[in-house]
Each structure stands twice: as C-alpha cells, then as structure tokens.
Chain A
Amino acid sequence: MNAQLDSFKYDDAIVRKFLVATFVWGLVGMLVGLIAATQLVLPSLNVVPWLSFGRLRPLHTNAVIFAFAGNAIFTGVYYSSQRLLKTRMFSDALSAAHFWGWQLIIVAAAITLPLGFTQSKEYAELEWPIDIMIAVVWVIFAVNFFMTIARRRERHLYVAIWFYIASIITVAILHIFNNLSLPAGPFKSYSMYAGVQDAFMQWWYGHNAVAFFLTTPFLGLMYYFMPKAANRPVFSYRLSIMHFWTLVFMYIWAGPHHLHYTALPEWASTLGMIFSVMLWMPSWGGGVNGLLTLRGAWNKVAEDPILKFFVVAVTAYMMSTFEGPMLSVKSVNALAHYTDWIIAHVHTGALGWNGFLTFGMVYWLLPRLYQTKLYSNKLAEVHFWIATFGMILYATAIYSAGVQQGLMWRAFDETGRLQYPDFIETTMKLMPMYWMRVAGGTLYLAGMVIFGWNILKTWQSRPAKYEEPVIQAAPLERKPGESGKNVFAGFSVAGHRRWEALPILFTVWTTVAVIVASLFEIIPTFLIQTNIPTIASVRPYTPLELAGRDIYQREGCFNCHSQMIRPFRYETERFGEYSKPGEFVYDHPFLWGSRRTGPDLAREGGKYNNLWHVNHMKDPRAVTPNSIMPAYPELLTQKLDFNTIQKHVDAMAMLGVPYGELIKDGAAIEAARTQAAEVAADIESTDPNLTGLADKEITALVAYLQRLGVDIKKANEVAAARLPAGGQ
C-alpha cells in the first residue's frame, strides 16, 4: 500500500482570499444595516435618492446574506472539503474564477441596488444580467466542488459534505426558477409569474434561501469546525443521517407560511404550516448534535472564545428553529406577520447563528491559515461579549416592538372602533425601541471592528512565505458496479453508509427529495384554476400606471408598504375590503410586501385626492406629522421616461397581459401622455402653485397609487371574488 501513496498539497491561498472577503463585506453589509436602522428614527437621513431606505434595505439584506454569509460559506467549504476528501480542490483556475466572479457579483449588486435596479422580490432583487452571472459562477463552484469529490481519496463522504451537496444543488434550482423573467431593458425585467403564483414562487425561494443558504451550509461548517475546535467526536452519526434527510425533504414545503391569510389558497398555507411544525426536530437534530459534541469539553468553553462563539451560535440556531415553527402556526402568524417580530426572528438567526458561527470559524482558521498565533485572544473575548450584548439589545428591542405594534393594530375600543386608527400613532410608540436597536447594532458593528483589527494584526505577523505541507494519502481503488444494487440501500444505517461512498447516487437522491417536495405544491398552485377565481372588472394597469408601478419598485416602496389586506376585521376596518386572488392577475411581479412599516396600500386608490399624494410624496412630515417615510421631492422634478413605456407595455403583453391595441407602435406612449396631462391638470387646478407636472415622475406614481384596489369596487363582484376554498 505505502508504495502507492499520492503526494499533494491543499490550496489554502483561496481560503485566505474568501476569509478576507467575508470580513470586508460583513463590515459593509452591517454598516448599511445600521444606516437603514437609523433612517427609521431619523428620516431626514434619507439624504439622497440612491441612499434612501427603500433602496438601502435590499442592499443590506443582500450584502449580509450573499456577501458576508456567502463568502463565509466558501471559506469554510474550501478549507474543510479538501481535508475531508483528502485532495486539493479540483481546479485552481475554477477556484479563482469562483472567487473573483462572486466578488464581481457583489460589486454589481452594490452599484445596481442603490441605482434602483430591482426585481422587487426579497433576496432576489438583483436584475437579470446579474442573475445570469450568479448562475454561471454557481455552476463554476458546483463543477469545482463535485469534481473535487470525484477525485477524493476518502471513500465515504462525511456529513459536512452531505450538507454542502444539498446546498449547492438546491440553491441552483431555487435561483433559476424564482428568477425566470422577461427582460424589458438592460436592467429591467418582469417576472414570468403573476400575483398569487409569483408570491408562491418567491416565498418557496425566499424561505429556502434561508434554508439552503443560511442553514444547511452552516450546519456543514458546524459539523467540521465544532468537533475540530472542541477536539471531541460528533455526538451521534445516526442523528446526523436522520436530521439531514428529514431537513432536506421537509424544508422545501415550508415556504407558504410566509403567506398565511393572503390571497394564496388556504391548502397551500396549511401545508406550509404543518411542514414547518414537523421541521422543528429535524432542525434541532443539528443543534443537539452540535451541543452534545461539547460534552466533556464544557470546561474548555470557559477559556476558549472560539467555543463560546460556537455555543452561542448553536443556541441561537435552536432558538430560531423553535421560533420558526411557532411563527408558522396560523394564529401566531396573524399577530407577527407584517411586524418587526419577523425582523427580530431573522436577526436571531443572522446575528447569532450565521454571525457567531462565522466568527468562531474565522478565529479558529486565522492561526492555521496565516501560520502564526492569533494576535490577541483577549480581543476575541471582548468581541464575543460586545457582540453578544449588542445582539441581546437588538433582540429585546425589536421583539417588543413587533409584538407591541401587532397588538396595537388589532386593538378595538369598547365602541367597536379601532383603538389606534392613526397608523402613525402605532409607529411613534416604537421609536424608543428603534433607538435601542441602533444601539445594539452599533455594538455588534463595534465587535466587527475589533474582529478586523485582530485579523489585520494576525496577518501582519504571518511568515515571509507560507509553508505548504505535503499530504500523503492512498488513492481510491475503483469499485465498479456498486451503484446499481445500492439505489435503495440508504434506509438503514449500514445501507446509508454504502450511499456515502457513492456521491452521484447521494446527489441524485438529495435532488429528488428537493424536487419532489417542491412539485407537490408547485403543480397544484399553477394548474388548479379555482385557486384564482377571475374578476371581470380587474383590468391591466394603464401605461402611465405601469410606469408609476416601475417607480414604486425602483424606490423600494414595498420594503415599507404591503399591498395585501388579510381577512380580519381589524384589517378590513383599517384598510378596506380584504384582497382577492383575482385582483393580482396582472401583477408581474407581485408587490404584496412583508413588513408594514407604513400602512397597507392595497386599497389606496381614491382614499385621498391627487394633491394629497403630491404633497405627501414631496414631504411626508408636512402632511402626517412624525411620519418616518422618506421624502421624495425629486419625483416632482425628474422627467418621466415616456420612451421606455412602450417597451414595458410590450413586455407585459408578451407575458399575457391583455394590452390589445396599446402594443401598436407608440400607442402606449400616447395613452400615457394623455392620462398624465389629465392627472397633472387635476393637481394643478387644486393647487395653482404646482405647475408643469405632466411630464414628471410624480404624475405616474400618483396615477398608480390612485389605481390600487379600485377595480373591484367598480362592479358588484365582491361576492364572486371570495377566497378560494380549496381544501382546508
């Protein structure tokens, strides 16, 4: 045997690159988050249009998810996979292409999101050219990774690798199917799906982005770095098998719990809820395996900041994966949906689980990658405590803000009237908590700065030239014909063990689990007509309204405003008749929103006159004292781009929106000009100080706002437009 040992070296240079990127983007992403949080208490901080809240919030979420967590995943995957598979990465060139491609995507995101280029789907905001780049880079990563597996010198795959496989496959599927859209310009596209179906696809994606980008890869990292750091065996191999498969199969179903009580058919939301409940133990399986791995090492936790980070990370993971199933129970969700409770839930996961696991991993890697001692263990301790304290402040504040606002929205007085009819009153009550969040975020960010200092100082004491130890391992012998008889082997521990030696079979089964589960929900959502009863009086947006809708998307208004009234008395009293599925059939993309920082706008049309909207958009605080909405005075001076309207209407027509004659050359532009002249004339007649609005963006936006939710009032079709019954 010994005579045949292969000699090779691990590629740690690429890991060092990803590590630095993790820190840099983490700092940027969190800073943007802090700015956005501060804008909610000091709306005057929305100084320039491209830094206003509606554009910054997606930048923050994309930066922390795809730039910070993404690079952290790649750091850990590139380091651990080589060692777990006993081979160098398949191709240094592909590794480099992956690294630079990903950073390019991030830079593209950082430029286009502030410019207002957005698909307006949460965590899938990036426009189509960047989506294509993501797909390409992801394929490069996948090829590099799977070819590394093919070249492995370790016959069986360790549990961390299972999680990496599931993540890579599923993210690819999710990304492609949620982003299917029709380009209508270099940085403009319309989702292929409309309304209810678009919402369904988006949250199938959105929830599983959390699952397969923020959960499964990090579980893989945990399975490598935690036993390494604690120097203890993993608690239970059998638990690994069980929770891996149940997690992968069940997660995919849970998306519709983001759409309880919306126009989504109730059967779908029920499925989303029960699969979320069943997900509790599969999720906790990972947490249990992590924490119990530390048995016998608890004394080390007291001294070692790395283990401390890991313990808090896993604890945060278990808290948020208990809370997740709880939040998906319909009655709890009714209170929490649209409030800051969801924001708090996400941050327990992001700050606690993803952040702390990354910090622990990086501190463990630093001395190994830079081949020197960590600059300061003390500073790592300080980082731990300051970040923990910051996180607790954040969570305390935002949980109470969420619950409090949710309760205020539903409070009735003794005469049956809303206790807080003024929406802004419920907002004002949150201000002290919003300040507390700013404080918590500042502390967490201060921890990042300390972290960066520690990285920098460690890097400075690196050796002149890194040693590259030569590793020796025996190559795998070929065992042909194995897979055939093992296809169904995995249902026992011994059988599963055989699967672990067959990566192709393993990958196929993972893919099948994910796809089959998805199709169970996707097929009925698209095929069952009765899910979306049509409403004859619902007509497509006029070309001008469509242009207004594009502005609404560009400014990210949907980050603060929902357009989906749920069937509760406290919602219909406040906002009007609840939303019907048939009202959204021309909405490419859907704009239901997920957080009501401002009031719902689903029935905004006709609530105020045009002038009110102009004054309000120009300076919300002049109309609603204490409003925290950003001001958009530039909309009154920026010229509306009439020329693109035809292209946009044509694209919508290609997606099946019945625009009839309007797709004729220039007809849509003509129609838009006519309507704009009417709207502007009305505004200018009510306030003679306003002039020349007919070719300004504000006119399109007002036309759009005045259209929202009015179609259904035209005909007496409310009865016909009941929610779909569809099962439970």
Chain B
Amino acid sequence: MSTPRDEDRLMDHKYDDIQEYDNPLPTWWNVIFWATIIWSIIYFLNVIPGVGSGKGRQALYEDEMAKAQELYGSPEQQAEAAIDEGAMAAALADPAKLEAGKVVFATTCSPCHNMDGGGNIGPNMTDDYWIHGNSPKAILTTITKGVPEKGMPTWAATLKPDQIANVAAYITTLRGTKPAVAKEPQGILMTPDGQPAGADSGAVK
C-alpha cells in the first residue's frame, strides 16, 4: 500500500482491545465510488446514447419484433410457407425424409398422439376417421395452425416448413398400422384420397 505507515496513526480508542487506524479511504475506492454515482445520474437522465434505457423497453421490444418480421415474415406468412403440398409429396417419396418426420413425431407429437400414433389426448392417426380432413392440404393446415381450443397446439412458429412436411408425410404412412392401444375413432370416415367415404360412413363424435 502506498499509504504512510499507519502504525503512527492509531486512533486513541480501544474496544475490548480492538484498535482502529485512522487511515484515509483508499484513493481507488473513492474514485470508483464517485464514478458509479456520476454514471448512475447520467443513466437515470437517459441523455447520452448507450448510457440509459434509451427509448425504453417497450419501444425496444417493438423494434425487435418489427426487425424479425422483416427478416422472417409475419406469423401468417410463416404458416402459409409451411403448407406446402409439394414438399409433403416429396417427403413421402424419400425414406430419409420420412425417417426425419418420424423423429419429429416421436419427440413432439407422441405425448398426445402416442409413439405409435394410436392416440390418447389427440386422435388416433392410424384409422380412417378424421376430424379436420386427411387431404395433404388439410393435414398440413391442422399441423401448422393447430386447433388450440381443442388442445392441438400450433406448430408453425416452432417447427420448420420441412419438418412439418416430413411429419405430415410420416403420419399418412401410419394408416392401417396396428397400434398397441387404439383410441376410438373421431371425426368422419375418409377415403385415402381425402374424400368423405359417403353418406353412410357414419360420423363418429
């Protein structure tokens, strides 16, 4: 320490034999102490760019959202981009993509549709009954936009378009498989090409 020998400047009091020196405050302590005060005042007044809250958190958030929209499109545009029947058809023809779709299904969808698609909270994927239709476009739409009020989440913001195409394709391959526990049919009986199977199909609720 650069302070003079403090042995010379013991205070003249003692408490239970504890003594104290009369040392001055260390210079660095003083400098930093006052610097933080000055910095804080400037920060509070918010007058220098970079020192202060700037425009405030609300404006910053709105800027951030606007910038993201510019870069990646609006949520609606993102959803539209994910409803891509061509990509789904391509996935159906490509075993690697189907495999990728299976992985998405296992990690993201199985909590509600079961690993084998037999259904629990969500409907059975292996039967021919559909609530929202089984045309490629219908399936892609259900997945991207969800049915939030019935417990099917929306996935456009979480899954990428190719992941949605892959998982949609994978679902259609489950048709006719034998799940361990199959949930009772929900919706109406559909033909594989996405048409209602007829008036006598017997809607199931």
Contact = CB atoms under 8 A, between A and B. Distances in A.
A200 interface: no
B1 A292 contact: yes
A84 B15 contact: yes
Interface of B: 1, 6, 10-11, 13, 15-26, 29, 32-33, 36-37, 39-41, 43-46, 52-53, 56-58, 60-61, 64-65, 68, 71-72, 107-108, 111-112, 120-121, 148-151, 153, 157-160
Contact of A261 (B23, B26, B52, B57): B57
Nearest to A240: B20
Given A238-B24, A242-B25, A278-B40, A568 B61 contact: yes
Contact of B121 (A612, A625, A725): A612
A234 B56 contact: no
B20 A611 contact: no
> Which 3 A-B pairs rank lowest in CB-CB distance, beginning with the nearest?
A609-B151, A416-B72, A274-B40
Interface in A521-580: 567-569, 572-573, 578
Contacts of B29: 239, 281, 284-285, 288
B197 to A, nearest CB: 25
Contacts of A375: none
Contact of A227 (B18, B148, B153): B18
Interface in A219-268: 224, 227-228, 233-240, 242, 246, 261, 266
17 contacts: A234-B20, A236-B24, A237-B23, A238-B22, A239-B29, A270-B44, A270-B53, A277-B36, A278-B33, A325-B36, A567-B61, A569-B61, A573-B157, A606-B148, A687-B120, A722-B58, A723-B58
Contact of B23 (A159, A239, A274, A280): A239
A416 B67 CA distance: 11
Most buried by B among A295, A607, A728: A728
B53 A330 contact: yes
A506 B6 CA distance: 28
Contacts of A156: 13, 15
A461 to B, nearest CB: 26
A612 B149 CA distance: 13
Interface string A109-145: 0000000000000000000000000000000000000
A609 B1 contact: no
Given A413-B160, A416-B72, A625-B111, 20 more contacts: A84-B16, A156-B13, A158-B15, A158-B18, A233-B18, A233-B19, A236-B24, A237-B23, A238-B25, A239-B26, A240-B20, A242-B25, A270-B53, A278-B40, A280-B32, A282-B33, A415-B160, A422-B107, A687-B120, A723-B58
A267 to B, nearest CB: 9
Given A281-B32, A612-B151, A615-B121, A567 B58 contact: yes
Contacts of A417: 157-160
Most buried by B among A234, A266, A285, A725: A234
Contacts of A261: 57
Contacts of B15: 83-84, 154, 156, 158
Nearest to A573: B157
Contacts of A686: 121
A293 B164 CA distance: 66
A168 to B, nearest CB: 19
Contacts of B1: 292, 295
Nearest to A237: B20
Contacts of B60: 567
Contacts of A572: 65
Most buried by B among A233, A625, A722, A728: A233
Nearest to B108: A422
A608 B53 contact: no
A413 B71 CA distance: 12
Contacts of A396: none
A607 B150 contact: no
Given A417-B160, A567-B57, A728 B52 contact: yes
Most buried by A among B13, B21, B158: B21
A185 to B, nearest CB: 35
B109 to A, nearest CB: 12
A638 interface: no
A236 B33 contact: no
Given A228-B18, A567-B57, A722-B58, A236 B65 contact: no
Contact of A237 (B16, B21, B61, B121): B21
B64 A233 contact: no
Interface residues of A, number: 69
Contacts of B20: 159, 233-234, 236-237, 240
Interface in A625-656: 625
Interface string A563-602: 0000111001100001000000000000000000000000
Nearest to B148: A606
B43 A270 contact: yes
A623 B68 CA distance: 32
Given A266-B56, A612-B112, A728-B52, A83 B23 contact: no
A148 B158 CA distance: 66
Contacts of A416: 68, 71-72
Given A421-B158, A569-B64, A235 B23 contact: yes
Interface string A282-309: 1011001000100100000000000000
Nearest to A425: B107
A687 to B, nearest CB: 8
Contacts of A492: none
A416 B157 CA distance: 9
B53 A728 contact: yes
A270 B39 CA distance: 13
Contacts of A246: 33
A80 B15 CA distance: 10
Contact of B68 (A80, A280, A569, A687): A569
Nearest to A610: B151
A418 interface: yes
Contact of B151 (A275, A413, A573, A608): A608
A233 B10 CA distance: 8
Nearest to B69: A416
A486 interface: no
Nearest to A725: B56
B4 to A, nearest CB: 13
A234 B108 contact: no
A421 B17 CA distance: 63
A156 B16 CA distance: 12
A611 B44 contact: no
Given A233-B20, A277-B39, A723-B58, A606 B149 contact: yes
A691 interface: no
A234 B18 contact: yes
Contact of B11 (A237, A282, A418, A728): A237
B30 to A, nearest CB: 8
A569 B18 contact: no
A624 interface: yes
Nearest to B56: A266
A57 B41 CA distance: 39
Given A606-B149, A612-B121, A728 B56 contact: yes
A233 B22 CA distance: 10
Contacts of A80: 16
Most buried by A among B18, B21, B29, B153: B18
